[in-house]
Amino acid sequence: MNAAAKETLGFQSEAKQLLHLMIHSLYSNKEIFLRELVSNSNDAIDKLRFQALSSPELLAEGVELAIHIDLDEEAGTITISDNGIGMNREDAISHLGTIAKSGTAQFLESLTGDQQKDAQLIGQFGVGFYSSFIVADKVVVETRAAGSEPADGVRWTSAGESDFEVESIEREIVGTSVTLHLKADEKEFADGWRLRSIVKKYADHVSVPVMMKQLATEDDAEPEDEIVNTAKALWTRSRTDVSDDEYGEFYKLVSHDFQDPMTWSHNKVEGKFEYTSLLYIPAKAPFDLYNRESPRGLKLYVQRVFIMDEAEQFLPLYLRFVRGVVDSNDLSLNVSREILQKDPTIDSMRSALTKRVLDMIEKLSRDEGTYQAFWDEFGQVLKEGAAEDQNNKEKVAGLLRFATTASEGPVQNQSLAAYIQRMQAEQEKIYYVAAENYHTAANSPHLEIFRKKGIEVLLLHDRIDEWLMNYLAEFDGKQFQDVARGELDLGDLDNEEEKANQEEVETEFTGLIDRVKELLGEGVSEVRITHRLTDSPACLVVSEDDMGMQMRRILESSGQPVPETQRIFEINPEHPLVAKLNDEPDVDLFNNLALVLYDQAKLAEGTQLEEPATYVSRLNKLLLDLAAG
């Protein structure tokens, strides 16, 4: 064999760490390795079926697609084989050697040190193949891609340490065989009864036959192969015939997650369109949940034939965390992504499946503890739906949760419906304040008048919140109002005496307003007396048509252009510092105090000062002047 046909390559550094964890500490349930390998074989067969639709020559006539499990007790080996799509040399290096697409670095960053919790992370990062090294000290993969020649076979070998070998081999059959050389203390798995029980437990509903040799034969006859799983797609069975455990194991099979799902829905639609769906909501978010470009979607089958792994057309992007399968009788077997995008049947299915998922989430919301767990994992992406899904905007809005001035701490657990139930009799709007974090929102000076009057305010502190509110104008007939935007009009929540007093104060402090406006110049669009402050001397307000500060910070941090805007500076005439400012004849002292109040208003809303050193110098001088006076 020439040098080019065999080479030794090193694992990526992240892969080395991962393998070390797999081998030495991560799994407590070692038998899961078989589920992962059987699942990979099933995926390979599904992909061959799909490619054979357009290239029939890839699938020889009369060939039965199946997974074979062979064992050798004496040698201590287990071999899992399939006649699926197979791999070429480049595939073997890419998929088995570098872990380039598995998010291994993020996986390692997410480890907690708790073995049980860390084991559950594995399914979220697609590194299940490496579970082989939990029970094996050597793994040999022999494979040949469909459509290639026997001479194009590949053997991949590794002991799970620092490197692996890849060499060219002659392989007569298409597909992949994974041989595990069991560790001395793991020979228990080289037992027919043991392997059968694992297949029944974890892979009974793989849609292709899983074959093993008969355990006992008569007259020393050669044992024949027999099917050890039901080999019937679970979603084709009646719901009454499927147990919760079976639903849970099937979820792990299709999602490669190691944790049970939070909930699921199994439904068959008959009538104008016929299709079956089995949808799952995971218990934990995948590591790439917030990457909107990551592959996502349901497994698509047409008339029980696998079509694609990530059919994104059946659910909107904000429901990208949902896993499961959809099997249609009304789509063509030669369906393609282009056809999926144009077929009106898809639009109808997408609408129905979206509503079904929202119904699943609504049922979760009836249990406060369960829904809080869901919200902590998926709440921010669900918020995208209120802006992106006009047909279901009201329903999505009803599922949103927020922190408010009536809740304890930053936990988002208050629904809009509950907020409306607690509204005061004269209250006409849903009030909110948006800030870059909870503490800034909760301590915003704009809340002072609302606390004084006992009016509840939503505290929005997720990065997406201000963008969301640009699309969410009202809920249940109640309009939303940003308390830091525009003129504050509390309507009937202010009595006539308060309104008359406000007008008198504005007239009384006209001179002060003019002096401050002259000092700040074009730094602000307007200076005016505030009616929203009770304890703070001043605040900054965004005009009705300008971009909010939270959105500005997001755009600035991402390098996006931000339009120039001037805010409104409001001062509180009842505050002692403002009274001092109004009576101050010394121009320098007046200017220093006014500029300090202006900068403090910026700090209170979470804005960084352009010249913090100047602010500190001005504040120190002011303190010295006041002390001397």
* Average pLDDT of the residues in 168-176: 95
Answer for the pair 171, 144: CB distance below 8 angstroms, yes or no.
Answer: yes
Taking the C-alpha atoms of residue 379 and residue 401, their distance in angstroms, rounded to an integer, is: 8
Of 123-127, 207-211, 213-217, 256-260, the poorest mean pLDDT is in: 123-127
Check whether 232 has a pLDDT greater than 90. no
* Average pLDDT of the residues in 46-67: 87
* Average pLDDT of the residues in 212-220: 74
Taking the C-alpha atoms of residue 46 and residue 246, their distance in angstroms, rounded to an integer, is: 21
Taking the C-alpha atoms of residue 56 and residue 421, their distance in angstroms, rounded to an integer, is: 63
Q: Look up the CATH superfamily of 3-230.
A: Histidine kinase-like ATPase, C-terminal domain (3.30.565.10)
Check whether 18 has a pLDDT greater than 70. no
Taking the C-alpha atoms of residue 344 and residue 430, their distance in angstroms, rounded to an integer, is: 39
CB atoms within 10 A of CB 486: 15
What pLDDT band is residue 506 in, cutting at 50, 70 and 90?
Answer: confident
- Under DSSP, the state recorded for 560 is -
- C-alpha 620 chain-centroid distance: 48
pLDDT, position 217 = 60
Check whether 508 has a pLDDT greater than 70. yes
* Average pLDDT of the residues in 224-231: 87
Instruction: Give the domain ranges of the chain.
Output: 3-230, 235-364, 401-492, 495-628
What topology does CATH give the domain 495-628? Four Helix Bundle (Hemerythrin (Met), subunit A) (1.20.120)
Of 116-125, 249-258, 308-317, 354-363, the poorest mean pLDDT is in: 116-125
209 CB-contact burial (10 Å; exposed 0-12 / middle 13-18 / buried 19+): middle
List Cβ<8 Å contacts ≥24 apart for 350-356: 350/313, 350/314, 350/315, 350/316, 351/391, 352/269, 353/277, 353/279, 353/314, 353/315, 353/326, 354/315, 354/316, 354/319, 354/389, 354/392, 355/392, 356/265, 356/267, 356/277, 356/279
pLDDT, position 3 = 46
The token duo for 300 is 């698509």
The token duo for 353 is 């499946």
> What pLDDT digit, counting tens, does each position of 442-458 carry?
999 999 999 999 999 99
Give all strands of the β-sheet with 403-404 in edge-to-edge order: 403-404, 458-460, 429-434, 478-482, 474-475
106 CB-contact burial (10 Å; exposed 0-12 / middle 13-18 / buried 19+): middle
CA angle 381, 384, 386 (to 5 degrees): 130
CB atoms within 10 A of CB 415: 18
Q: Could you write out the DSSP letters of every residue in 181-196? A: EE-GGGGGGS-HHHHH
Answer for the pair 277, 326: CB distance below 8 angstroms, yes or no.
Answer: yes
What pLDDT band is residue 581 in, cutting at 50, 70 and 90?
Answer: very high
Same fold, 3-230 and 495-628: no
What pLDDT band is residue 467 in, cutting at 50, 70 and 90?
Answer: confident
What pLDDT band is residue 70 in, cutting at 50, 70 and 90?
Answer: very high
pLDDT, position 86 = 94
pLDDT, position 105 = 53
* Average pLDDT of the residues in 587-594: 92
The token duo for 314 is 């059946």
Select the CATH number that applies to the domain covering 401-492 from these four: 3.40.50.2300, 3.40.50.11260, 3.10.20.70, 3.40.50.10470: 3.40.50.11260
Could you tell me which of 83, 85, 82, 87 has the C-alpha nearest to residue 48? 85
Answer for the pair 165, 7: CB distance below 8 angstroms, yes or no.
Answer: yes
Check whether 483 has a pLDDT greater than 80. yes
> What pLDDT digit, counting tens, does each position of 275-301 carry?
999 999 999 998 888 887 787 889 888
What pLDDT band is residue 125 in, cutting at 50, 70 and 90?
Answer: very low
> What pLDDT digit, counting tens, does each position of 325-361 carry?
999 888 766 565 555 666 788 889 999 999 999 999 9
**Amino acid at the residue 189:** F
What topology does CATH give the domain 235-364? Ribosomal Protein S5; domain 2 (3.30.230)
End-to-end Cα separation, the chain, in angstroms: 95
Helix H or strand E segment including 251: helix 244-255
Considering the entire predicted model, what is its pTM? 0.72
Question: Alpha helix locations (H) across 494-540?
Answer: 496-508, 510-520
What pLDDT band is residue 562 in, cutting at 50, 70 and 90?
Answer: low
List Cβ<8 Å contacts ≥24 apart for 330-334: 330/273, 330/274, 330/275, 331/302, 331/307, 332/302, 333/53, 333/302, 333/303, 333/305, 333/307, 334/53, 334/54
Could you tell me which of 367, 331, 357, 335 has the C-alpha nearest to residue 267? 357
